[in-house]
Amino acid sequence: MEVIFATHNKHKSKEIKKLASDVVLIRNLNDIGYETEIPETGTTLKANALEKCQFVKRSLSSPVFADDTGFEVDALNGAPGVYSARYAGEPKSDKANLQKLLREIQGKADRRARFKTVICFLKDDEPLFFEGVVEGKVIDTPKGAEGFGYDPVFIPDGYKQTFAEMDLELKNKISHRGKAFEKFVKYLYENYSK
């Protein structure tokens, strides 16, 4: 079975293709020449993942899945949350988002935060959802050159390194996206494996 990943992100595609290659053929939007801009107007991660799936599914016959990820900081009432990618406004900028986050959290004692990923899978009309969460804290000074987004200021519980200091294999093993993909791949194995 062929499944379309509603993303242009090559890094995310490579990760999931590796996990599910012996069960289904996963192709991303670049693989199929799909260039249309996909809207993200939802106010929750779940709503955005569903919107992306439904939008792409309208023009394709293959099953589709999409993900949305947010970074939630307790001291900021869960912000940036669903707006993580555009926290500092347009155009999207990881650097500007990080700078804004550090300004907003400055002087706050509560540093609890989490990354959350929601995957939506749409084969027929009924969507299925898979969620992954990793808890941790925000630090004041970015550390590490790996990763992207808020990775340089996030230390997951039980570790001393930021996501940006970790090698990719370790990060994928413990990350929010890794946990959500693991649940999704388990579902594919159980339902589509020969």
Q: Of the residues 22, 31, 67, 68, which is catalytic?
A: 68
Q: Is 150 annotated as a binding residue?
A: yes
Q: Is 160 annotated as a binding residue?
A: no
Q: Is 177 annotated as a binding residue?
A: yes
Question: What is the C-alpha R_g of the chain?
Answer: 17
Q: Is 69 annotated as a binding residue?
A: yes
Strand-pair partners of 25: 2
Q: Which residue has the tokens 């599910």?
A: 20
DSSP sequence for 4-65: EE----HHHHHHHHHHHTTT-EEEETTTTT--PPPP---SSHHHHHHHHHHHHHTT-SS-EE
68 has catalytic annotation:
yes
Q: Is 176 annotated as a binding residue?
A: yes
Q: Is 157 annotated as a binding residue?
A: no
Binding-site residue set for Mg(2+): 68
Q: Which residues are catalytic?
A: 68
